[in-house]
Structure 1
Amino acid sequence: MESNLSSAEYIERAQMHDGLANSTADPEARKMHRAMAAAYRRKAERTGIEMTETPIARGPVLEAAIPVGARA
Structure 2
Amino acid sequence: MSTPPDGLPVYRLLTGPDDASFCHRVSEALSLGYRLYGSPAATFNGERVIVAQALIWPSAEAGVPSS
Give the TM-score, by structure 2 length.
0.29
Q: Which has the higher contact order (CA 8 A, sep 6+)?
A: 2
Larger helix percent: 1
Q: Of the two, which has the highest radius of gyration? A: 1
Larger strand percent: 2
Give the TM-score, by structure 1 length.
0.28
